[in-house]
A and B are shown apart, each in its own frame.
Chain A
Amino acid sequence: MSRSPWSRRQFLGALGAGGAAAVGAGSLAGCSSSSGAGSGSASARGGLTFTLWGGDEELAAFQAVADGYEQAEGTTVTLDQLPYPDVLPSVDSRIQAGDPPDLFRVSYIDIGRYTTLNVLADISDALPSGYADAFTPALWKAVQDPDGRPVGVPHHTDCSAIVYNAPAFAAAGVTAPTSLDQAWTWEQFTQALTEVKGANGGKYPVAINWQAAGAYRWLSFLAQAGGSVFDDDLAQVTIASDAGRKALTYTQGLYTSGLHDPTFLVQAGNYPDETFPTGQPLSIATGDFNLPSLVTSATGFEWGATYLPRDVSAATDLGGNAVVVTDGPNAEAAARFAAFLANAENMKSFCEATTVLPTRSDVTGLTYAVRPDLMPVFVEQATTIPDSLVAASTSPVFTQVNQALQQQLEGAFAGGADVDSTLDALQKAIEQALQQQA
């Protein structure tokens, strides 16, 4: 907020002349003209604003792309960094106020909230011919509006796998699988965790990252059991199924059998990767994007990575983010930057620096900056993200799905709520969300 351009003399003069109304109008006019001039001049300079969140590595990587774009095109891109929980409320407020950022970063699980609102710009014209063909089809679909027009770019993806305390697992004589086809079955996973707990003084052997907004990660277990949230048309809710029952029974059992750290329920203020470096829990499900922070925090012991357990199939969650362009005066310039951001070269350097996975099939041979020995686990695990989960995660009602999961899984895990009644409640809540959306 810039200061009012009024001098004290002018202010007092206005007081005497016009009283409250004059002061009010004048102050507001002063405010709006100064801020308006600011944004106007930014547009005149061709500058773009990009609202995002990010860790140190991510921000540095984004800044590098922005610098490269300025050198190549002469357009300044200003990164407007916010804490993750503040990004979408801020973007929403700015869109409502008619002053949106030119671009913003959005996770795939939130993108459906925007693609149906007519607040994003069609960026087709800024994309070179054949640009879309390089992307994973399901993720390219995620950045399209209901009419099939692209409104942004799928910038990267990530997924969860298991990171474990190597000495603790070795103490139990447990060897973690080293290839996807050898991933533990649920029964083998339970057996391994039981042995790890027994060999480490009863320390909790696992915590899954389904806290808070991550409740949807439970859907990996649903998919492993062969289930899904919706049918193929996203028209019917199918969560209350035999697969749902099996998945919920198994995951609830992780708590009741004392294997899952009970301090990491669904409603929690933090994620397991915060305490893993202290030596508890002994393994966590976490995303590859957390490897840089774990490298700096989990320095007291060796740690490795292996795959999520599997049941009738292997599956993991859809993580990662897109960058979308808002429908504003700079949409055209912003669209060109989005295309630049997700070209093969920039995507490769971003993924290498931040240990996330590319969404383009032509980005190969990555040399990751952090724990390159573990990244193949995540790369291979990412091949198990089911299409049904991608479709569900990017649907406009996924926020409500996630909300229902937060409430109902908490009841099942913390309060021991009955499996069938939990699934029924989930089914009804999601059906209600679908009806309201319609």
Chain B
Amino acid sequence: MVIVGRRPARHRGEALAGLALASPALLVFTVFMFVPLGMTAYYSLTRYTGFGEPRFQGLDNFGQIGSDPLFWRALVNTGVFTVISVPLSVLGGLGLALLLNRHLPGRGLLRALFYVPVVISAVSAGIIARWIFNENFGVANRLLTGLGLPEVGWQTDGPAALASVIAVQVWTSLGFAMVVYLAGLQGIGAEVYEAAVLDGASRWRMLRSITWPLLGPTSFFIVVYMVITSFQVFDIVVIMTGGGPQNATTFLVNYAYDAGFEQRRQGYAAALGAVLFVIVMALTLLQWRAGRRRDVA
């Protein structure tokens, strides 16, 4: 009885201590995330230039978004960008991690080299890429012609320009996926593979039936993280293509930034932000549910 009677009191104390210790973080989240989110939701219902008082206008901004061809173009671009860049980054990162999880000469150097693009600024990466993909004298087209292939209109052809931005995004995010996968791989016990070898499993079978399932939580984290970051792509595009040609590389965040800070339509930009938030939240929940079903199964 004594023990039973003391446990809730101790739990209450632990809960209070936990709350107290978490309160700085909660405060930061409240001030820098929840309050801005709430204000964005409010501004999305107003006409607001950023100066003076916002004028409430209900759902007008969302109605305008629905009939705004540039929004739909930016949404499609962002979707295509995500659908292509995330799998490439995830699978590429896994491949590199599998490769560099072995004993190789210069393994540390190779790991560092693949991680370098993660730590250089997106602006620097964008400027480098702008020169690489320059149609008149860039390295990309010189390599293609050297291989006997036709030149590509990286700056003048919409799909090619989008491909160049995707390539840079994958280049800058591969290293992150690699490092996280390396950590995941090192958490898988060697005895599991030994048992599989004794059972006569092939390398491919071990990858498919041991490595990939046991990396499930890691993959879940990487996919969620990369979907979110791909929906937030901004600086690379500004530097590389300016959103062109013909809006082929205009993404949602670029469009929202332009609306909010260039055109000073901050209510409209907030509505764009709210739409972006709902999309990313829905995608994250879908992935979370899929991940939970997989874990239960």
> Which chain A residues have a beta carbon within 8 Å of chain B's beta carbons?
15-16, 19-20, 23-24, 27-28, 85, 88-89, 92, 95-96, 113, 117, 119, 204, 211-212, 261-263, 265-270, 275, 278, 280, 399-400, 403, 407, 410-411, 414-415
Task: Please state if B264 and A113 are interface contacts (CB–CB under 8 Å).
Answer: yes
Task: Please state if A267 and B137 are interface contacts (CB–CB under 8 Å).
Answer: no
A16 contacts which chain B residues (CB < 8 A)?
A: 20
B263 contacts which chain A residues (CB < 8 A)?
A: 399-400, 403
Given A275-B134, A410-B247, 19 other A-B residues pairs in contact with their CB atoms under 8 A? A20-B20, A23-B20, A23-B23, A23-B27, A27-B27, A117-B51, A204-B136, A212-B242, A267-B242, A267-B244, A267-B247, A269-B126, A269-B242, A270-B130, A278-B137, A280-B136, A399-B264, A403-B262, A403-B263
Task: Please state if A410 and B246 are interface contacts (CB–CB under 8 Å).
Answer: yes
A117 contacts which chain B residues (CB < 8 A)?
A: 51-52
Task: Please state if A268 and B137 are interface contacts (CB–CB under 8 Å).
Answer: no
> Which chain B residues have a beta carbon within 8 Å of chain A's beta carbons?
16, 19-21, 23-24, 26-27, 30-31, 50-52, 70, 126, 130, 134-137, 155-156, 238-247, 250, 258, 261-264
Once the chains are docked, how many angstroms separate the CA of A418 from the CA of B134? 28
Q: How many A-B pairs with Cβ below 8 Å?
A: 100
A265 contacts which chain B residues (CB < 8 A)?
A: 155-156, 244-245
For the complex formed, measure the closest distance between the CB of B231 and the CB atoms of chain A, giving whole angstroms.
Answer: 21
Task: Please state if A27 and B244 are interface contacts (CB–CB under 8 Å).
Answer: no
Tell me the dominant secondary structure on chain A's binding face.
helix
Once the chains are docked, how many angstroms separate the CA of A119 from the CA of B264? 15
Task: Please state if A269 and B239 are interface contacts (CB–CB under 8 Å).
Answer: yes
Once the chains are docked, how many angstroms separate the CA of A411 from the CA of B247? 9
Once the chains are docked, how many angstroms separate the CA of A125 from the CA of B155? 52
Among A23, A24, A92, A275, contact of B136 (Cβ-Cβ < 8 Å):
A275
Instruction: Give 16 A-B contacts (CB < 8 Å), ordered by A residue.
Output: A15-B21, A19-B16, A20-B26, A24-B27, A27-B24, A119-B51, A265-B245, A268-B155, A268-B244, A269-B130, A269-B239, A269-B242, A407-B70, A410-B244, A414-B244, A414-B245
Q: Which of B50, B126, B239, B250 has the most chain A CB atoms inside 10 A of its CB?
A: B50
Task: Please state if B136 and A261 are interface contacts (CB–CB under 8 Å).
Answer: yes
**A-B interface, 10 closest residue pairs, ranked by CB to CB distance from nearest:** A267-B244, A20-B23, A263-B155, A24-B27, A269-B242, A89-B261, A414-B245, A267-B242, A268-B242, A280-B136
Task: Please state if B245 and A267 are interface contacts (CB–CB under 8 Å).
Answer: yes
B264 contacts which chain A residues (CB < 8 A)?
A: 92, 113, 399
Once the chains are docked, how many angstroms separate the CA of A263 from the CA of B153? 9
Once the chains are docked, how many angstroms separate the CA of A417 from the CA of B262? 25
Once the chains are docked, how many angstroms separate the CA of A410 from the CA of B238? 16
A411 contacts which chain B residues (CB < 8 A)?
A: 246
Task: Please state if B27 and A20 are interface contacts (CB–CB under 8 Å).
Answer: yes
